[in-house]
Homo-oligomer: A and B are copies of this chain.
């Protein structure tokens, strides 16, 4: 039975790639991915046939991966982050369901998760995902804006910590401001906001700001935007003789026991 690995490689640093995902890549002859994700893999791609396809060519990429695997080539379809979260995995199954080819049914599919952008960003600032949270894609290319707006409103009313994926792109520049406006109706202006960009990569940047000060023009498609809930806190720790460090955490209620 031919094999298709569907792999999330984490935020970028190969030290955050699981051994299971690494082994799957090593066993593959063919890798299918957006070019940036292949470059992040460095030497792991050596000797492999790399099928680079651009952003926007997701359907073709998933079809290509299924076709390659069906032809007998051990294939990896690769995304950074977790391929199961706002990424290519769901498209593989959507194709299998809605426009299948007979030969695809003989492909043995294995999905291997990776560390997602919200987890990477959270870890750099402490523990903002310590209590109930949600993840919302702000891309309205495939989802009607009304659906997205409803979800933002419900997440705001439920006081969830919120991670926004795909917050901004060259063609989409107003959605994050709209989301901010909705959240300000339910949440304090001082609510902590985290911007995580290229976490674990050379150009890593982390910003801790507030909901009121969140400036959507400072956010791009490589940025993960995380909004604290009404109880999320910023904490400053100052080690002796060293600069202060800010942390963000969302308490789970242990303080009642700490009295």
Contact = CB atoms under 8 A, between A and B. Distances in A.
A135 interface: yes
Given A89-B126, A235-B96, A249-B90, A58 B254 contact: yes
B131 A160 contact: no
Contacts of A253: 142-143
Nearest to A106: B239
Q: How many of these chains are in the complex?
A: 2
A249 B133 CA distance: 21
Interface residues of A, number: 87
Contact of A86 (B18, B160, B242, B252): B252
A51 interface: no
Interface string A1-29: 10000000010011111111001000000
A68 B132 CA distance: 30
Given A19-B19, A112-B123, A130 B90 contact: yes
Interface stretch (A151-159, A203-211, A213-221): A151-159
A229 to B, nearest CB: 10
A94 to B, nearest CB: 5
